Amino acid sequence: MSVSTMGITVKKIEKSRIGELDHSNIQFGKLYSDHMLVAHYENGQWLQPEIMPYGNLNLSPATTFMHYGQAIFEGVKAYKDAEGNPVIFRPHDNWKRMNRSAERMAMPDVPEEIFVEGMRELVKLDKNWIPTAEGTSLYIRPFMIATDEFIGVKPAEKFTFLIITSPAGPYYAKPVSIFVEDKYVRAFPGGIGFTKAAGNYGASMYPTLQIRKKGYDQVLWTDGFEHKYVQEIGTMNVFFVIGDKVITPETSETILEGVTRDSVITLLRDKGVTVEERPLSIDEIADAFGKHQLKEAFGTGTAASISHIAELTYGDIHMKLPSEDWGISEWVKAELNDIRYGRKADIHGWIVKA
């Protein structure tokens, strides 16, 4: 059966797989919802997007992105509001960021009608897959790949944009232990650190594996010139509560502009908390720790939401944070959840109905 809504062709699954979803044990990224959205770009234009049953792609082994990494992605979440309606958190911000990544990676702009309207349509169709327990959501993964069948190194001409969705439980159940990286580098000025380009994450696997062997969960990246200024963690921006101020590195070419980061800064400033966006050195953090001024540290990202940092290791310095005092990060996490689940007024216009 094919029905056309808003220029999107919808081909529904014959029998839903929703029975496979165990609400009491939702693991991140293990199970995908019934449908996906696929849109092709060729001859300089986007063709009509199609929502179809989730399934494998049929691609030539010579497909460009597999060889040269012209691939970008986004991460968004859908929730059910207090009335049980499906809602999406700040999808337009992800849409804009996807297009900043696309430009840097020589890929075409994805129109709002495909990214946002297509996402709304898909989430509405698979709304039964949105879990409702506290801390759970439907994780939405839009992404774009270069699909020329050509293994010469040149910017591609054909692309495919897709959206898949997956029910998500809490990402890091426990506070994380962080290794401050002083050898490997994630991003350099002039590079692609500000984009969600696939290669950024491929390049982070080896350093992450090294620190996992030492018992740490995540790397805190530092700048590539001096390994002195902190940047971000894995797929999270990072915040430090020092004295009565909240400090986070300012975004730049080397730091991803997190939507959660922006939401957290906005909510803290609304509450009258001083938030500084500026260069923050690891020495300043260690110094504050020594003076008992380092009160909290946390990461922010769509997948993990707010993730408490239990300890930071920088060379010989082990900074163990007091776990009983997460006043600011707990407050902001609760505030964000209240808005996402529709329990508090959305004064910033962040919630979009699916």
- What residues make contact with ligand PLP under the rule CB under 6 A? 75, 196, 232, 235-237, 256, 258-261, 300-302
Beta strands in the chain (DSSP E): 2-5, 8-11, 35-42, 45-46, 50-53, 71-73, 76-80, 86-89, 137-146, 159-168, 176-180, 218-222, 230-233, 236-242, 245-248, 274-277, 294-301, 305-314, 317-320, 351-353
Closest to ligand PLP by CB, 236 or 265:
236
Q: Are 77 and 137 in contact (CB under 8 A)?
A: yes
Q: Are 51 and 28 in contact (CB under 8 A)?
A: no
CB of 283 vs ligand PLP, minimal distance in Å: 23
CB of 221 vs ligand PLP, minimal distance in Å: 8
CB of 60 vs ligand PLP, minimal distance in Å: 29
Q: Are 80 and 87 in contact (CB under 8 A)?
A: yes
CB of 288 vs ligand PLP, minimal distance in Å: 23
CB of 202 vs ligand PLP, minimal distance in Å: 12
Query: ∠ at Cα 12 (35, 160), nearest 5°?
Result: 50
Q: Are 98 and 7 in contact (CB under 8 A)?
A: no
Closest to ligand PLP by CB, 63 or 99:
99
What are the beta bridge partners of residue 212? none
Q: What single DSSP character describes residue 149? A: B
CB of 264 vs ligand PLP, minimal distance in Å: 9
Report how far residue 66's alpha carbon sits from residue 59's, in angstroms, rounded to the nearest whole number: 10
Closest to ligand PLP by CB, 218 or 237:
237
- 294-301 and 305-314 as β-strands: parallel, antiparallel, unpaired? antiparallel
Report how far residue 278's alpha carbon sits from residue 329's, in angstroms, rounded to the nearest whole number: 19
Closest to ligand PLP by CB, 289 or 308:
308
CB of 242 vs ligand PLP, minimal distance in Å: 21
Closest to ligand PLP by CB, 51 or 256:
256
CB of 244 vs ligand PLP, minimal distance in Å: 25
Closest to ligand PLP by CB, 80 or 196:
196
Closest to ligand PLP by CB, 10 or 255:
255
Chain centre distance of CA 310: 21
For 91, the 3-state DSSP assignment is helix
CB of 251 vs ligand PLP, minimal distance in Å: 10
Closest to ligand PLP by CB, 34 or 232:
232
Report how far residue 199's alpha carbon sits from residue 189's, in angstroms, rounded to the nearest whole number: 16
Closest to ligand PLP by CB, 64 or 302:
302
* Residue of 144, 143, 157, 148 whose CA lies nearest to 63: 148
